[in-house]
């Protein structure tokens, strides 16, 4: 890669290059000059998180986050308790990996009200908080686009995530800002400033919104090929005091079918052109 | 249809039974006991709106709205002026039809900022207002789900639509509440009460959100087959003072492939079971 480019804040989610094993991803990211990696649970199939952490660090990569906990909502109390146990395991996995943050996709259950789901999310985070603090792993509430309100998240705006984070008022709970979910929100600038001002802005995820979008889940775009105002949002995030990594998180059947080396090259070009 | 059921506030959008001509829709709705109809422009291919209005009224149906104007946003000023002219024609068509309301899908243009699009929407409505008043046709701003923020509407919450309607402070501008677009919003109850309290609640559209939703545009569900809390929202709308029609607006490749008579029967059963 061109050494004149600044990739010092570029992080890639392992799921972005899903066809690669963790070892392949780490090798290729490091060779290309990527500095950060966010690890998805399914990229460590042998569950040896300590070894995965060592492998990543030995290639000079920094681990930014671990994805993804949450899914706290469930009408059945026993199943809710089970979800909390799963999240405790994920906090331990994050700690073993050496990831400072666990990202939470909070959950939503269509057979109950959104209000009930939101209450259960609060209860879930409450139960995890001492575990997270003890493990030294921060919990990042990620608001999801309203098109995922049915069964993925009942937290659909940054305003809601900020409310939740401020309710806990703990350095161990904050929010993750993903442009894909939030770009349309007329309150976005204000809410980014709010979470930055409260030291709750833990993570920043980038990709793009394609026109047309042909699949609700697996048709995210590469930065620059859609309509998200990436420069504007990047500036809002910087103005809010965030100086962490810019994490490329793209779920895309289209890109997963490509040669992943060529895709990585495209990611780095797109990052250079649209995100710096 | 069972005469013990109350279909006195049931309205169907012609696009819901798109395979039917207007004459077929009118015949079948009237025979089934549907009382209201909302007319889409494409259901009057001969452009004879007076004749269409007469046909509808001769079957005892009430015309609730005309769909859909709007699409005001456009970076090019000449094209914006053209869009306003198109809307003026649609106001005249609504008046010829005898429809008291023109529904506005306001538009969004991905090559400019959302802020610019919102300004252009305001300018568009401003330009139409005297024409609408003169024609006796109300303009209903319909906020669209955030998944349509790319190129269909930069107005994506009821809060935004209420702000816009209150800015005009005219009996000729209000809002249309469609459960498909708004059900996820944590502020929905409050915003419905707000628009009802300001006499801005002009229309109420129903359908359901399927899980999974396989197409962003053409996979709406029949009431009861998804996760939208229809009873709850119906009660909020009633509490806000709305006593107008409940308009079934379903875009669905699945249902358009069915026999439309059988589909109409399903609509009426679903309305009876989930919306009364």
Asked if B184 and A149 come within 8 Å (Cβ–Cβ), the reply is: yes
- How far is it, in rounded angstroms, from Cα B174 to Cα B101? 10
* Phi, psi torsion values for A250, nearest 5 degrees: -125, 120
Q: Is A75 on the interface with B (CB under 8 A)?
A: no
Nearest CA in chain A to B151: A211
| DSSP code of residue A1 | -
Q: Kindly list the residues from chain B whose CB atom is less than 8 angstroms away from the CB atom of residue A163.
A: none
Mean of the per-residue pLDDT values of chain A: 97
Any idea which residue has 């990594």 for tokens?
A245
* Separation between Cα atoms, residue A29 and residue A232, nearest integer Å: 27
Please say if the pLDDT value at position A42 is more than 70: yes
pLDDT for B22 beyond 90? yes
The fraction of chain A above a pLDDT of 70, given in percent, is 99
Distance between B228 CA and the closest CA of chain A, angstroms: 8
Distance CA A132, CA A91 (A): 6
Helix axes A158-168, A188-197, angle to 10 degrees: 20
CB contact under 8 A, A186 and B216: no
Over residues A174-185, the pLDDT tens digits come to 999 999 999 999
Residue B196, pLDDT above cutoff 80: yes
Q: Which of B114, B121, B163, B191 to mutate to test the interface with A (most CBs of A within 10 A)?
A: B114
Do the bridges between strand A62-70 and strand A101-105 make them parallel or antiparallel, or are there none, so unpaired? parallel
B236 inside 8 A of chain A by CB? no
**Tokens 């569900």, residue located:** B221
When pLDDT is averaged across residues B177-195 and rounded to a whole number, the result is: 98
- Chain-centroid distance of CA A139 in Å reads 11
pLDDT at residue B5, as a whole number: 85
Q: What confidence score (pLDDT) does residue A5 get?
A: 85
Residue B37 structure tokens: 């109809």
Q: What is the mean pLDDT of residues A47-71?
A: 98
Query: Would the pLDDT of B57 be above 80?
Result: yes
pLDDT at position A107, please?
98
> What is the rounded CA–CA span in Å between residue A246 and residue A272?
12
Contact B213 A209 (CB under 8 A): no
Residue B58 has pLDDT above 90, yes or no: yes
The helix or strand, by DSSP H or E, that contains position A201, with its residue range, turns out to be: strand A201-206
pLDDT tens, B208-263?
Answer: 999 999 999 999 999 999 999 999 999 999 999 999 999 999 999 999 999 999 99
Take residue B270 and report the two structure tokens written for it. Answer: 């679903």
The Cα–Cα gap between B68 and B202 comes to 14
**Interface contact A151-B211, CB threshold 8 A:** yes
| Residues A233, A188 contacting (CB under 8 angstroms) | yes
What is the arithmetic mean of pLDDT over A60-76?
98
In percent, the amount of chain B with pLDDT more than 70 equals 99
With a pLDDT cut of 90, the percent of chain A lying above it is: 98
pLDDT of res. A215: 97
Cβ of A23 under 8 Å from any chain B Cβ? Answer: no
Which residues fall within 8 angstroms of residue B188, CB to CB, at 6 or more apart? Answer: B158, B182, B233, B236
How many Å apart are CA B223 and CA B248, to the nearest integer? 9
Kindly state whether B7 is in contact with chain A, defined as any CB-CB distance less than 8 angstroms.
no
DSSP secondary structure string for all residues of A56-117: HHHTTPEEEEEEEEE----SSHHHHHHHHHHHHHHHHHHHHHT-SEEEEE-B--TTS-HHHH
The answer, as to whether pTM is greater than 0.95, is: yes
pLDDT tens, residue by residue, A97-148: 999 999 999 999 999 999 999 999 999 999 999 999 999 999 999 999 999 9
Nearest CB among A151, A160, A211 relative to B150 is that of A211
pLDDT in tens, B118-148: 999 999 999 999 999 999 999 999 999 999 9
CA distance B73 to chain A (A): 15
Q: Residue A2 — very low, low, confident or very high, per pLDDT cuts 50/70/90? A: low
Tokens of B52: 């269409």
- Please, what is the average pLDDT of chain B? 97
- Report how far apart, in Å, the C-alpha atoms of A198 and of each of A183, A186, B167 are: 21, 20, 33
Query: C-alpha distances in angstroms, B94 versus B97, B132, B163?
Result: 5, 10, 25
3-state secondary structure chain B: CCCCCCCCCEEEEHHHHCCCCHHHHHHHHHHHCCCEEEEEHHHCCCCCHHHHHHHHHHCCCEEEEEEEEECCCCCCHHHHHHHHHHHHHHHHHHHHHCCCEEEEECECCCCCCHHHHHHHHHHHHHHHHHHHHHHCCEEEECCCCHHHCCCCECCCCHHHHHHHHHHHCCCCEEEEEEHHHHCCCCCHHHHHHHHHHCCCEEEEEECECCCCCCCCCCECECCCCCCCCHHHHHHHHHHCCCCCCEEECCCEHHHHCCCHHHHHHHHHHHHHHHCC
Q: For residues B166 and A113, what is the distance between their CA atoms, to the nearest angstrom?
A: 30
Alpha-carbon separation of residue A77 from A45, A129, B213 (angstroms): 29, 19, 27
3-state secondary structure (DSSP) of residue A230: helix
Which residue has tokens 């915003």?
A: B191
Quick one: angle between helices B188-197 and B230-239, nearest 10? 30
Contacts B229 to A, Cβ<8 Å: 113-114
Domain range A10-274, CATH class: alpha beta
Indicate if the alpha-carbon torsion angle B174, B175, B176, B179 is positive or negative. Answer: negative
d(C-alpha A193, C-alpha A40), whole Å: 28
C-alpha B176/C-alpha B236 separation (Å) is 14
Domain locations in chain A as residue ranges: 10-274
Inspect the interface and report whether the beta carbons of A216 and B216 lie closer than 8 Å: yes
Question: Which residues of B are less than 8 Å from A149 in CB distance?
Answer: 183-184
Q: What is the DSSP string of A126-160?
A: HHHHHHHHHHT-EEEE----GGGTTTTBS--SHHH
Please tell me which residue of chain B has the smallest CA distance to A225: B110
- Asked if A113's CB is within 8 angstroms of B211's CB, the reply is no
Positive or negative torsion for Cα A126, A131, A134, A139 = negative
pLDDT value, residue B208: 98
CB B169 within 8 A of CB B128: no
Number of residues in chain B:
276
Contact assignment for A114 to B209 by CB distance below 8 Å: no
- The residue-averaged pLDDT of B35-63 equals 98
Locate the chain B residue with the closest alpha carbon to A231.
B113
With CA atoms as reference, report the closest residue to A51 among A29, A27, A28, A22.
Answer: A22
CB contact under 8 A, A150 and B227: yes
Other CB atoms within a 10 A radius of the CB of residue B164 amount to 21
pLDDT of residue B4 exceeding 90: no
pLDDT category of residue B3 using cuts at 50, 70 and 90: low
CB atoms within 10 A of CB A163: 17
Pair B178, B249: CB distance under 8 Å: yes
Contact residues, chain B, for A211 at CB < 8 Å: 110, 150-151
The residue-averaged pLDDT of B144-159 equals: 98
Number of inter-chain CB pairs under 8 A, A vs B: 70
- Chain B residues closer than 8 Å to A232 by CB: 113
Contact A118 B186 (CB under 8 A): yes
Question: Is the per-residue pLDDT at B23 higher than 70?
Answer: yes
Q: CA neighbours within 13 Å on the CB side: how many for A23?
A: 4
Confidence (pLDDT) at A3: 57
């Amino acid at each position: 890669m061109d050494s004149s480019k600044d990739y010092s804040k570029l992080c890639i989610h392992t799921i972005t290059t899903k066809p690669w094993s963790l070892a392949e991803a780490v090798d290729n990211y490091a060779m290309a000059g990527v500095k950060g990696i966010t690890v998805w649970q399914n990229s460590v199939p042998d569950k040896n998180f300590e070894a995965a952490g060592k492998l990543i660090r030995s290639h000079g990569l920094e681990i930014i986050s671990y994805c993804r906990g949450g899914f706290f909502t469930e009408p059945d109390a026993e199943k809710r308790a089970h979800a909390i146990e799963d999240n405790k395991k994920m906090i331990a996995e994050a700690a073993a990996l050496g990831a400072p943050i666990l990202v939470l996709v909070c959950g939503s259950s269509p057979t109950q009200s959104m209000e009930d789901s939101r209450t259960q999310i609060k209860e879930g985070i409450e139960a995890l908080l001492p575990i997270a603090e003890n493990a030294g792993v921060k919990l990042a509430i990620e608001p999801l686009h309203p098109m995922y309100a049915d069964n993925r998240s009942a937290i659909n705006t940054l305003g809601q995530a900020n409310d939740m984070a401020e309710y806990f008022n703990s350095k161990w709970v904050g929010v993750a800002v993903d442009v894909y979910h939030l770009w349309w929100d007329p309150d976005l600038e204000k809410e980014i400033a709010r979470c930055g001002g409260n030291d709750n802005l833990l993570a920043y995820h980038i990709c793009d919104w394609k026109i047309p979008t042909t699949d609700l889940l697996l048709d995210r775009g590469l930065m620059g090929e859609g309509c998200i105002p990436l420069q504007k949002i990047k500036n809002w995030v910087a103005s809010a005091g965030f100086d962490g990594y810019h994490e490329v998180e793209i779920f895309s059947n289209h890109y997963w079918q490509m040669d992943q080396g060529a895709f990585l090259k495209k990611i780095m070009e797109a990052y250079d052109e649209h995100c710096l």
